[in-house]
Structure 1
Amino acid sequence: MNQKKLLAACAIGNIIEWYEFMIFGYFAAIIGTLFFPSSSSLGSLFKAFGVFAIGVLVRPLGGILFGHIGDRFGRKTALLVSIYLMSVPTVAIGLLPSYESIGIFAPIALLCIRVLQGLSMGGEYAGTIVYLVENTKTSKKGLYGSLAAFSLVLGMAAGSLVFAVFHALLTKQQLLDWGWRIPFLLSIVGLAWGLYLRVKLEDSGVFTELKEAGNLARIPIKEAFSESSKPLFQTVLIQCLLGVGMYTMTIFYANYAREHFASLSSVSPILLNTPGVIAIGLAAIVAGKFSDIFGRKNVLLYSAICSFFVSYLTIPLITHGSVESFFMAHIMLSTLTGCFLGSIPSFLAESFPTKTRYTCVALSNNLSMGIFGGTAPMVITYLIDKFHDPVIPNYYLMVSALITVLSIYFSKDKRLSPDKELSYAREFKHN
Structure 2
Amino acid sequence: MSGSSKSLGEALKLAISANLGWGFELFDFVVYLYAGTTMAELFFPSSVKIASLLEFYLTLVIGYLARPVGGVIFGHYGDRLGRKRLWFVSLLGMGISTIAIGFLPTYAAIGIAAPIAIVLLRVVQGLFVAGEWSGGMTFVVENAPDHLRGLLGGIQQGGAALGLIFAAIASEVASYFAPTPAQFASYGWRVMFWFGAIPLAIALAVRWRVSESVEWLAKARGDPEKVPILTVFRRWWSLVIISTLIIVGEATVYYGVVAFMPDFLQNNVGMPSGEIAMVVLVTNIVWFVTSPLFGYISDIIRSRKLYLAAAYALIAATSYPVLRMLYSGSYAAALAAGAVVGLLFSWQYAVLPAFLGENISTRVRYSYIAFVINVGVALSSLAPFAVTYLGYRINNTPLANILVAIGAAVLAMTFTLASPRDRIGAPLM
Provide TM-score, normalisation by structure 1.
0.91
AA partner of residue 283 (structure 1): T
Q: What one-letter code is carried by the residue in structure 2 that aligns with 1:112?
A: L
CA distance in 1, matches of 2:226, 2:273: 53
Aligned residues: 418
Match of 2:69 in 1: 61
C-alpha RMSD of the superposition: 2.1
Contact 1:241 1:304 in 2 (8 A): no
Post-superposition offset of 1:49: 1.2
Report the residue type matching 2:407 in the other structure. Answer: V
Structure 2's unaligned 5+ residue stretches are: 1-6
Evaluate the alpha carbon distance shift between residue 319 and residue 219 of structure 1 in structure 2; reply closer, same or farther with a 3 A threshold. Answer: closer
Moved more, 352-361 or 392-401: 392-401
8 Å contact 1:280–1:337 — kept in the other structure? Answer: yes
Q: Could you tell me how far apart the structure 1 residues matched to 2:98 and 2:175 are?
A: 20
Q: 2:307 aligns with which of 272, 275, 299?
A: 299
Q: Shift of the alpha carbon at 1:65? A: 1.1
Percent of pairs with identical residues: 28
Corresponding residue for residue 33 of structure 2: 25
Contact 2:174–2:188 (8 Å) recurs in 1: yes
1:411 corresponds to: 419
List aligned pairs for 1:320-359, cutoff 5 A.
322-359=330-367
Q: Does 1:9 align with 2:26?
A: no
Question: Structure 1 residue 219: deviation in Å?
Answer: 0.4
Of 237-246 and 117-126, deviating more is 237-246
Structure 1 match to 2:297 = 290
Rounded to whole Å, the distance in 1 between the matches of 2:20 and 2:366 is 19
Which residue identity does 1:267 align to in structure 2? G
Is residue 25–residue 94 contact of structure 2 (8 Å, CA) maintained in 1? Answer: yes
1:73 and 2:62 matched: no
The counterpart of 2:42, out of the listed 34, 48, 72, is 34
Greater alpha carbon shift after TM alignment, 302-311 vs 314-323: 314-323
Change (3 A) 1:135 1:320: closer
Query: Mean Cα displacement is larger for which, 235-244 or 74-83?
Result: 235-244
Could you tell me which amino acid in structure 2 is paired with residue 333 of structure 1?
Answer: V
Structure 1 position 78, deviation (Å): 1.1
Aligned mate of 2:206, from 180, 193, 197: 197
Separation in structure 2 between the aligned mates of residue 136 and residue 385 of structure 1, nearest angstrom: 46
- Per-residue CA shift, 1:185-223, capped at 9, x if unaligned? 233344444444333332211101223542x11101111
SS at match of 1:200: coil
375, 399, 405: which one pairs with 2:407? 399
- In 2, distance between residues paired with 1:269 and 1:193? 26
Match status 1:173 vs 2:189? no
TM-score by length of 2: 0.91
Counterpart for residue 127 of structure 1? 135
User: Does residue 250 in structure 1 map to residue 258 in structure 2?
Assistant: yes
Letter in 1 for 2:282: P
Aligned CA distance change for structure 1 residues 283 and 6 (closer, same or farther; 3 Å): closer
The residue identity in structure 2 corresponding to 1:234 is I
Q: Does 1:375 align with 2:359?
A: no
- C-alpha change, 1:416 and 1:192, in structure 2 (3 Å) is closer
The aligned residue for residue 288 of structure 2 is 281
| Aligned equivalents of 1:307, 1:287: Cα separation in 2 | 15
- Deviation digits for residues 340-371 of structure 1, max 9, x if unmatched? 11111110111211011001111111111111
Q: What letter matches 2:369 in structure 1? A: V
189, 194, 197: which one pairs with 1:188? 197
